[in-house]
Amino acid sequence: MAIRSLLQQCTPEIVKVALRSSRGYRRCFGRRPNLFSPQTFTEWVQHRKVFDRDPRLPLRADKVLVKDFVASKIGAEHVIPTLWHGTQLPPREQRPWPRPFVLKANHASGWNHFVRSECEHDWDRIEQSADEWMASTYGVYDGEWLYSRIAPQLLVEPFIGRAGVLPIDYKFWVFRGQVRCVQVDFAREREHEHRRVMLDADWRQLSVRHGYPLAECPVDRPASLERMKAFAELLAEDFSFARVDFYEIAGRPLFGEMTFYPASGYKCFEPASFDRTCRDWLG
């Protein structure tokens, strides 16, 4: 049956999401995705965006609500504390948060302000961003359904890096309850220096590039790798796929976030065969 005929059987909302996802995918890959029988992981991500309405997805992606879930599964000591959260920043005299701290939106990826020094303590700019975040629904143009189901909030956390530098980000790709590969990101704040490495579950570097240049030096194995792997599998055990992110601070894993549409399925793998390998891990 032709795709147009299949879409005619779907709700208007699903048709809208399918069109947005397909347009975005075609811009990145030069072809339309197979939404109904995905043959690659990136196509499967489009399929999930269009058809998967699991009510747990928004709860796990909500940066405020997910913390209680994570604490109940692996312990509160592995959760970054929340200094404040709400729908509107309090008056300036009621913001006693010690520097360095981070202001984030709970319903988005990458919407944050790092306040590590006086020059970054620009409340006019921060308030403008916060107002824009609260008035926006993240992921609409890419068809990322789950973000539209998160009640928008702002949250403040302590900055957990050292000397003002973000810590290394360990992102565990969990397929059917098993960590299959680990994405490690460095220098994420510096657009032209951002590096990424993909490794297998045994910490062997893969000859795979995903969106960013490969790091030129070997990646040190974190002391808590096995604990992070076990935690990631526990948090993602009931999903066909989830990416679970951790930091390691003084040898202790700290939960970052859970992601269900990595890069919205719009970043190519090099070699392209790894895209099919990830699809095979889904079963």
197 and 136, same domain (yes or no): no
The tens-digit pLDDT sequence of the chain (283 residues) is: 455 666 666 788 888 899 999 999 999 999 999 999 999 999 999 999 999 999 999 999 999 999 999 999 999 999 999 999 999 999 999 999 999 999 999 999 999 999 999 889 999 999 999 999 999 999 999 999 999 999 999 999 999 988 888 899 999 999 999 999 999 998 665 545 678 999 999 999 999 999 877 776 778 999 999 999 999 999 999 999 999 999 999 999 999 999 999 999 999 999 999 999 999 999 9
For Cα atoms 157, 162, 167, give the angle at the middle one, nearest 5 degrees: 75
> What token pair was written down for 3?
């795709």
**How many CB atoms neighbour CB 219 within 10 A?**
16
> What token pair was written down for 168?
């290394």
pLDDT of residue 14: 86
Number of domains in the chain: 3
The CATH number that applies at residue 223 is 3.30.470
* Residue 42 within any structural domain of the chain: yes
Contact 49, 64 (CB under 8 A): no
Contact residues for 1 (Cβ-Cβ < 8 A; gap 6+) = none
* Residue 72 within any structural domain of the chain: no
pLDDT of residue 1: 45
* Residue 104 within any structural domain of the chain: yes
pLDDT of residue 187: 64
* Residue 56 within any structural domain of the chain: no
179 and 148, same domain (yes or no): no
Global pTM value:
0.94
Backbone angles phi, psi at 263, to 5 degrees: 55, 20
End position of a domain, from candidates 117, 139, 158: 158
Range of the domain at 108: 78-158
Long-range CB contacts (within 8 A, 24+) of 220-229: 222/168, 222/170, 222/248, 223/248, 223/251, 224/248, 224/251, 224/252, 224/253, 227/253, 228/170, 228/172, 228/253, 229/172, 229/179, 229/201
| Alpha helical stretches, state H, 96-224 | 123-134
pLDDT of residue 188: 60
* Residue 149 within any structural domain of the chain: yes
